[in-house]
Structure 1
């Protein structure tokens, strides 16, 4: 996503190129105050060097949050007198008073310093909205793919299902578990499922699908061209999406017209139309939507078109560039 932001900020018509000016990594995954002290000191030194370099029209930071607050942008932008924007910034009031207290406060301070904040999901907006103030717009930026046009549409090979997700313990394994449970409720008889992904929970995932060994094929970890080929053969993309931030795989599948079946969850509903969302709590609901897709050709065709239309309208590079520059443009027009 960060690479996509760089591309969207680059605008040939305006003669603007986005530049990665620092690779400083400010991350404390354990709530270690001593590490935070070190990072804050290192950030101050890094910021001073950036200030001395200067020459930019604006500063944009992607994904500042309580474990990795932006320790550079507010200082550099303020000293240089340039606009400061944040993308996918979050606030975490529940972290105040705990081991990340100082970093959470610094993340909040960086949000306060921003001229505008772009949010990617409704859930992120809910966290930012209580702090909304005049003069600092909160602007929706839909998650987007790094492509200007839609790829060729899918040519499904019968009732072929595709799922893609890292095979990790926790939320990912929970999604695989729901998927496996849904298979026994299917009325469609000649389905095939391809699983793209790998990881430390591979053995557990294989055990979940053992009852369907002759119908389930493990593809392993795929690179992007290989995954794109898999989308192009699929009739439905099925991934419950337990605690997904939003999930780029949903957009990649829909871009080629593969209807998505997912559970109605925060984040997922920001990138999947309501027709592709089923109620949580019962794997049979997932199976019923899969059956509907494969039993009703007109319904599948409608969902396929809806998927491509959604991506084309909201989730391509051009739409992201337009949204970003609708805010950034007026802030920097005198300096370009």
Structure 2
């Protein structure tokens, strides 16, 4: 099958790493492993930081839409797949092009909030809502997005797709036994917003356990690093900056548990890496984390702004037997639900359902 792939928020070859880029690449890899011919048909980025940019982007999208449709008409794809749209990154290409080519239109990852229908983001919200109304299938990635999507997408055209990635290098990780301080690992970019607030919440929680035996390795870099490092005790914390992806499995092998009390982590691929590496998790109770971490099974979910929650979880995970049980459970969950093979199965089902529920287009 020939599939036209489009990511309006960030194209898969964007130079800046992010969970969004990671998942776009995982989807492409899974589709190609299934034998599909996949083309990234546009790198037009509709995402904007300032709502005042929406009108200009919408006009620019008209020319891009015409150019892409003209090129695809000579050898039309069998399916159009858009990855990640919402009010700040609407899809101004896929709905009209797929309708004109009379092919199914699928959206993977979307969200909808009624409050965005009015206010500064109303133009993008209207475009996103129109695209979702036209979609033959919509797959939510976060369970918490399903409630909003149900208001505008019929149940027959709405499903949940678990996030996935290539986990083989992490599933092969074997942690080395050791005696001594509890080895904590945190992985996150050091940029303003939710990443910075997560580091701040972690520093506050660890300060309450400063007398306990622990060490923290923090992986990540960014403009806020100089302000974040002083929040952690120098004697217990090692900041190692950004790490190459192929070096990460060995790094997980040096840790006892993964701790990231995220304020709102949308996808959390570092959680999947840690789970596949056999590490128990302490994660924030919000965003996409509860879809990955089963509280009391493969880790603990905590309220990020309540450091005593993190402290309590750290106290329980001082027990090596509990860490071993939770780590094994996390590795099994990662392999069964979030591996590339699991993603291939999920995508095959999604494509099949789009064919069954596809509607005639005018």
TM over 0.5: yes
* Deviations 1:185-205, CA, capped at 9 Å, x for gaps: 338733211011111111211
- Aligned equivalent of 2:62, options 41, 47, 56: 41
Indicate the larger mover: 141-150 or 17-26.
141-150
State which drifts further: 246-255 or 182-191. Answer: 182-191
In structure 2, the CA distance between the partners of 1:187 and 1:198, relative to structure 1 (3 Å rule), is: closer
TM-superposed CA distance for 1:328, in Å, is 0.8
Name the CA distance, whole Å, in 2 between partners of 1:117 and 1:267: 17
Aligned residue for 2:196?
173
* CA offsets 1:277-314 (integer angstroms, 9 cap, x no match): 344242122122222222x2221111111110110111
- Over 3 Å counting, the alpha-carbon distance change for 1:264 and 1:330 in structure 2 is closer
Instruction: Work out whether residues 188 and 291 of structure 1, in 8 Å CA contact, stay in contact via their aligned partners in 2.
Output: no
Given the alignment of the two structures, is residue 10 of structure 1 paired with residue 32 of structure 2, yes or no? yes
Alpha-carbon spacing, 1:265–1:34, altered in 2? closer, same or farther (3 Å): closer
Could you say which residue in structure 1 is the equivalent of 2:129? 108
8 Å Cα contact 1:90-1:128 kept in structure 2: yes
Distance 1:63-1:203 versus aligned 2 partners, 3 A rule:
same
Task: Tell me the secondary structure at the aligned position of residue 240 of structure 2.
Answer: strand
CA contact (8 A) 1:256 1:308 kept: yes
Shift of 1:34: 4.1
Partner of 2:48: 28
Query: Equivalent residue of 2:184, what SS?
Result: strand
**Mean Cα displacement is larger for which, 56-65 or 271-280?**
271-280
Partner SS, residue 107 of structure 2 = strand
Provide Cα deviations, 1:243-270, integer angstroms capped at 9, x if missing partner.
Answer: 1113111111111101111232232111
1:186 paired residue number? 209
Q: CA separation in 1, counterparts of 2:80 and 2:56?
A: 26
CA distance in 2, matches of 1:82, 1:299: 51
Q: Which residue of 2 aligns with 1:256?
A: 277
Matched, 1:160 2:183: yes
Superposed, 1:123-142 pairs within 5 Å as 123-133=144-154, 135-136=156-157, 138-142=158-162
Residues 246 and 270 of structure 1 are in contact (CA less than 8 Å); yes or no, is this contact kept in structure 2?
A: no
How big is the alpha-carbon RMSD for the aligned residues of Structure 1 and Structure 2? Answer: 2.1
Q: Judging changes above 3 Å, is the alpha-carbon distance between structure 1 residues 117 and 143 closer, same or farther for their aligned structure 2 residues?
A: same
- Within the candidate set 80, 96, 99, 1:59 is matched to 80
Alpha-carbon distance change, 170 to 187 in structure 1, aligned in 2, over 3 angstroms: closer
In the alignment, is the contact (CA less than 8 A) between 1:186 and 1:288 conserved in 2?
Answer: no
User: Does residue 200 of structure 1 match 2:220?
Assistant: no
Q: Higher strand share goes to which structure?
A: 2
Q: Distance in 2 between matches of 1:156 and 1:235?
A: 9
Shift in alpha-carbon separation, 1:37–1:69, aligned structure 2, 3 A: closer
Q: Which moved more, 1:48-57 or 1:227-236?
A: 48-57
Q: Is the 8 A contact 1:156 1:232 kept in 2?
A: no
Of the candidates 254, 257, 276, which is equivalent to residue 233 of structure 1?
254
Q: SS at 1:19's partner residue?
A: strand
- Note the C-alpha offset of 1:331: 4.6
- Residue deviations 1:66-91 (CA, integer Å, cap 9, x gap): 12211111112111111110000222
**1:14-38 Cα distance to aligned partner (Å, 9 max, x none):** x422221222222332112541343
Aligned counterparts, 1:71-86, within 5 A: 71-86=92-107
Identify the residue that residue 359 of structure 2 maps to in structure 1: none
What is the TM-score of this pair, normalised by structure 2? 0.84
Task: Measure how far apart 1:42 and its partner are.
Answer: 2.4
Gaps of 5+ in 2: 1-22, 357-362
